[in-house]
Structure 1
Amino acid sequence: MDLSASRKTAAMLICCLGVLVAQVDTTAVNVALPSIAQQLHASTSQLQWVVDAYLLVLASLLMLSGSLGDRLGRKRVLVTGLVIFGGASGLCALASSVWPLIMMCGLQAVGGSTLAPVALSIISNIYPDRSERAFAIGIWGAVVGVGMGLGPIIGGSMVALYSWRGIFVLNLPIIAITVPLVLYLVPESKATPPRKIDIPGQALAITFMASITFAIIKIGSLGLSTSSVEVATVLAVISGVAFFVVESRVPVPLLELRFFRSPVFSMATLIGFLEFFSYAGFVFVANLYLQDNLKLAPLKAGFLMVPLAVVNAVCAPISGWAVGKWGARALMLAGAIALLGAAILLILMSFNSSLLQFIVASMLVGLAIGLANAPVTTLAVSGMPLSRAGVAGATASTARQLGQSLGVAVLGATLNARLHAGLPFISAASTGWYSILAFAGVMAAAGWLSGTHWAQEKANAIIQAE
């Protein structure tokens, strides 16, 4: 795509702005959960659905949105997504009870599902040079990290100054500015030839993700032996198996299973899933700990998450720059080690622990995400041919969003179940911290493996074969 350097930069930054809005909104809502519970009389499981309704729809539609962008035009799909996201944000702000809010968060995610994969595909196409593309994708990944860091600050401030509704209202003027800029600055592009839409695969993916998340959340409040949990579990197993059978046979699958023959792509996808599982689960539990257990005001709780935000916001752009210069392996290993340290500090927390221990642990979580997110994105996309950049990016993004959804579901469910069993909050939360500890170890191993000579050779062979 023959564009001037300034036009490329402007288009990239506008794409990043759309993704930034969605990422800030997602993380800001976590700080507002106790306030939502108080005003709308929501239970812990309903709070999980406020977060997971967005994350589930997002994860379910990311690959479809990437395919639609390739087929219908990436700029067109991006603008449509921004408009839907903005309109649903306004409806979220008007919700008078918890279930309408949950449904509008799901609608918001329909628009949000276009932002990451389509923006990433646009960036990949306007930077055909591989080294330039790696740097640009690193910046994109850094913006995602900055958004994750800014969310708690903005969420706490909005709740304190206005109410939880302000988080959604804030999206409206930003979207109103972003849409005209996309129309003016971002070039239109399509895939040649366009990908067909895998409707059976999409339906099975939605069924699997929704049923497994429903089962996990309900286990926390109802236990394993209830009929709704049993039905959801069976449905998850059947739809999951059917999904992989269908995807292995259709000519143009929703999920390109052959991508996973590349160790580089597979390891990047796995690390993305685990880091976002850990991050989202931690943020969900941490905000309940600060506001419900320690009885802190939303603004103070938000500011106690500022160290996480600052570390993330500082490290994310540095990581985006560094990955283009030195590669992804060292940064992913450093991120895994930081997450390992955070998990150890959280496990060691007791009733007498100071807030400093929690703050240091949260800073290490921010450091882990800030260091690892940009290289994970770069590695996933650069491990595939340019012609498959949109689908590869959407697959990696889906893994991260599914990780977020299951992180909230699993850590929220284990916390809820152990609280119902009569355990104090610190003890109830410890199971989640142990899971983060285990995942950090897996991330370290996967990060090391992705940079081996064997993994790089396999990835290059797949790229050349395409």
Structure 2
Amino acid sequence: MSFSAVPSRELSPRGRTIVLSTCLVSVVVAGLDTTIANVALPSIQKALHAPLSGLQWVVDAYTLVIACLLMFSGSVADRFGRRRVFQVGLGLFSLGSLLCGLAPSLGALVAFRALQAVGGAMLNPVAMSIIAATFTDSKERARAVGAWGAVAGLSGAVGPVLGGLLVSGLGWRSIFWVNVPVGALAIYLTQRFVPESKAARGKRFDPLGQLLVIAFLGPVTAAVIEGPRYGWSSPFIIALFVLAAAAVAGLIATESRCAEPLVDIRVFRSPAFSGAAIISVIALMSLSGFLFLNTLYLQDVRGYSALHTGLLLFPMAAAMAACAMISGRIAVTRAARPAFVLAGLLLAAGTGLLLGTGHGTGSWYLVLAYLLFGAGFGLVGTPLTNTALSGMPRDQAGVAAAIASTCRQTGGAVGVAVSGSIVAGGSAGFIASSHTAWTFLTGCGIATALLALLSTGRWARTQAERSARRSSTHALEATR
């Protein structure tokens, strides 16, 4: 994704503020939708008579489609105009939200969630490009990106609380309908105030790369979700895993030879970036699994309302928001390693405590676990971004950021798939099966800390610098 732009007109400071506010509106609706639906899952299950695998698809239809289309939407916006693609994204997102609220069946809801995600994939990466094109001064751009990060983190964190309020007061369909007026407002503001901009040189399309990304992420997620129902040794599930493995092999082979690949394999030569990418997947697996399991536990096992569930999860949201700000300071003053390691340990501690949950676990115990987990996840964000981009040449920063975002969305989809499958495959009831899932998520926290130690050490930094110099040399030779 290139940040060079051809703006249609210069903007005043007030105009730039309005552009930033418009982009932040899109961050709010897209960020909320990654977490708000979790609180509504038990209500959706009862209303639409959905099995557990159906609930997994309600969440993963959104995150999976976004993961598949993030990099593609950024390149389309650079080529055809960022404002134009941004408005299309807002329109599709709003239409998908409206249809989700009207869905008569589980299949229709999953399909409309996928449509919603097609629009959602055009929001965050394109809005970031608009911000970068609008704020040309480095200090102003840094402040704008900081506001972006703060709002993105806060919107995802308050999703369960807002979802609880809406579901308890207006029903589960309201969590989708609330996006429609907000989306309409954002479309108007974009048309009125956001200037059109394009990359100086649009990136070529890579249809084969896009097809292979879909052929990898779709089958592997489907296999994990449907494994308990069909059986892990069934020909259907084995075929899905084989297709996913073949897609990965094809992606590596084709993208490494493509002049302008959708997925630039070169960025993975940096141990720092590769480590950050894997941590992105693992950390988001932990978050999505945490929200999915807790929603079912609090409402189906404990019998709490959606509002009570949202309020119980609020300490997690508050700790997440507070530690996200602390994380930035730690990363600046003491590098990424301390924040990363502490984050992994806190994630493991929070999920580890949930191994002790049962039918009568005290609220104080749950809140303590939620606080620890929220603090851990809040510490991950800033060092994750800094580590992913460290050692990268400037011309690859956009590519690296897009791949890192795709890894986060992929982790979110896989976390729900794995956690839900563990619970669905258990025969001893939700509590006993969830303990296995919590053990898995505790391992994710420990893996985060260990990978942080490997990807932020002296050897990793040296290799990242070498990779950056090699990539810059290749880019210079290609322009001659």
Q: TM-score, normalised by structure 2?
A: 0.89
Structure-to-structure mapping, 1:201-240, within 5 angstroms: 201-240=209-248
Aligned 8 A contact 2:72 2:210 in 1: yes
Match of 1:434 among 425, 435, 439: 439
Match of 1:402 among 371, 389, 410: 410
Match of 1:425 among 425, 430, 438: 430
Moved more, 449-458 or 216-225: 449-458
Moved more, 167-176 or 347-356: 347-356
Which residue of the partner structure matches residue 243 of structure 1? 251
Aligned 8 A contact 1:142 1:370 in 2: no
- Does 2:110 align with 1:105? no
Structure 2 distance, partners of 1:87, 1:368, is 35
Sort the Cα spacing of 1:14 and 1:371 in 2 relative to 1 into closer, same or farther, 3 A.
farther
Aligned 8 A contact 1:308 1:366 in 2: yes
Secondary structure of the 2:203 match is coil
Q: Alpha-carbon deviation of 1:86?
A: 0.7
Q: Alpha-carbon deviation of 1:296?
A: 1.6
Which residue of the partner structure matches residue 31 of structure 2? 23
Sort the Cα spacing of 1:77 and 1:434 in 2 relative to 1 into closer, same or farther, 3 A.
same
- What are the Cα deviations for residues 177-199 of structure 1, in whole angstroms up to 9, with x where unaligned? 22233334444333332111110
Which residue of the partner structure matches residue 127 of structure 2? 119
- What are the Cα deviations for residues 298-323 of structure 1, in whole angstroms up to 9, with x where unaligned? 22122211111222233334545665
Sort the Cα spacing of 1:74 and 1:456 in 2 relative to 1 into closer, same or farther, 3 A.
farther
Structure 2 distance, partners of 1:167, 1:160, is 11
Moved more, 93-102 or 125-134: 125-134
Q: Alpha-carbon deviation of 1:167?
A: 0.5
- What is the RMSD of the two structures over their aligned residues, measured on CA atoms? 2.4
Which residue of the partner structure matches residue 155 of structure 1? 163
Sort the Cα spacing of 1:326 and 1:111 in 2 relative to 1 into closer, same or farther, 3 A.
farther
Q: Alpha-carbon deviation of 1:171?
A: 0.5
Structure 2 distance, partners of 1:127, 1:371, is 27
Q: Alpha-carbon deviation of 1:127?
A: 5.0
Which residue of the partner structure matches residue 200 of structure 2? 192
Aligned 8 A contact 2:354 2:369 in 1: yes
Give the counterpart letter for 1:19 in structure 2: V
- Does 2:92 align with 1:89? no
Aligned 8 A contact 1:220 1:415 in 2: no
Which residue of the partner structure matches residue 364 of structure 2? 356
Sort the Cα spacing of 1:35 and 1:366 in 2 relative to 1 into closer, same or farther, 3 A.
same
Which residue of the partner structure matches residue 339 of structure 2? 331
Give the counterpart letter for 1:398 in structure 2: T
May I ask how many residue pairs the two structures share in their alignment? 463
Secondary structure of the 1:193 match is coil
Instruction: Show structure 1 runs of 5+ residues with no match.
Output: none
- Does 2:275 align with 1:267? yes
Aligned 8 A contact 1:138 1:323 in 2: no
Structure 2 distance, partners of 1:121, 1:260, is 23
Sort the Cα spacing of 1:95 and 1:255 in 2 relative to 1 into closer, same or farther, 3 A.
same
Sort the Cα spacing of 1:293 and 1:350 in 2 relative to 1 into closer, same or farther, 3 A.
closer
Sort the Cα spacing of 1:7 and 1:340 in 2 relative to 1 into closer, same or farther, 3 A.
farther
Structure-to-structure mapping, 1:141-152, within 5 angstroms: 141-152=149-160
Aligned 8 A contact 2:96 2:113 in 1: yes
Aligned 8 A contact 1:116 1:397 in 2: no
Moved more, 173-182 or 397-406: 173-182
Secondary structure of the 1:196 match is coil
Structure 2 distance, partners of 1:222, 1:236, is 18
Which residue of the partner structure matches residue 478 of structure 2? none
Aligned 8 A contact 1:124 1:389 in 2: no
Moved more, 225-234 or 301-310: 225-234
Aligned 8 A contact 2:94 2:116 in 1: yes
Structure 2 distance, partners of 1:453, 1:58, is 35
Q: Alpha-carbon deviation of 1:227?
A: 3.1
Sort the Cα spacing of 1:18 and 1:323 in 2 relative to 1 into closer, same or farther, 3 A.
farther
Moved more, 228-237 or 6-15: 6-15
Q: Alpha-carbon deviation of 1:454?
A: 3.9
Structure 2 distance, partners of 1:402, 1:429, is 22
Secondary structure of the 2:35 match is helix
